Amino acid sequence: MDIDLYVDRVYYGFYPITAIEERFAEQRRLAEELAEDIDRNDVIVYAIFNYEEDSERIVSLELMTERVSYDDYVRSYQSFSGYCRAFFVRKTIGGNNG
């Protein structure tokens, strides 16, 4: 099963799930590094998975590193359809990311 990959809203093509998992892990590491230097009220959004409504299979992955306030994140991503999931990291006590 190949999945559409977008990076910063640019289409990169179809990729197998193993490649998607690798890119997702790389993007999370990058987001964790960036989160070390942000305010505690901000988050780094790094991925959005989109799912097919009927089968719930993964259709696409959008990778990015967008810094937004947590409140804006909640407002923005609550408006998404129930068939996508956004991933983010934020600074936590002691500099660890969650």
Q: Where are the domains of the chain?
A: 2-95
Please give the single-letter amino acid code of residue 38. I
Report helix, strand or coil for 15.
Answer: strand
pLDDT interval class at 98 (50, 70, 90): very low
pLDDT digit string (tens) for 9-46?
999 999 999 999 999 999 999 999 999 999 989 999 99
Q: What share of the chain is helix, strand, coil (3-state, %, to 5)?
A: 30, 45, 25
The token pair at 23 is 């890119």
pLDDT interval class at 63 (50, 70, 90): very high
Cα radius of gyration rounded to whole Å, the chain: 14
pLDDT at 80 > cutoff 90: no
Task: Choose among 13, 77, 22: nearest CA to 45.
Answer: 77
Q: What is the rounded average pLDDT of the residues 50-57?
A: 91
pLDDT at 64 > cutoff 50: yes
At 94 the pLDDT is 59
Distance of alpha carbon 85 from the chain centroid? 8
**In terms of pLDDT, which residue wins out, 98 or 33?**
33
pLDDT interval class at 95 (50, 70, 90): very low
DSSP type of residue 80: S
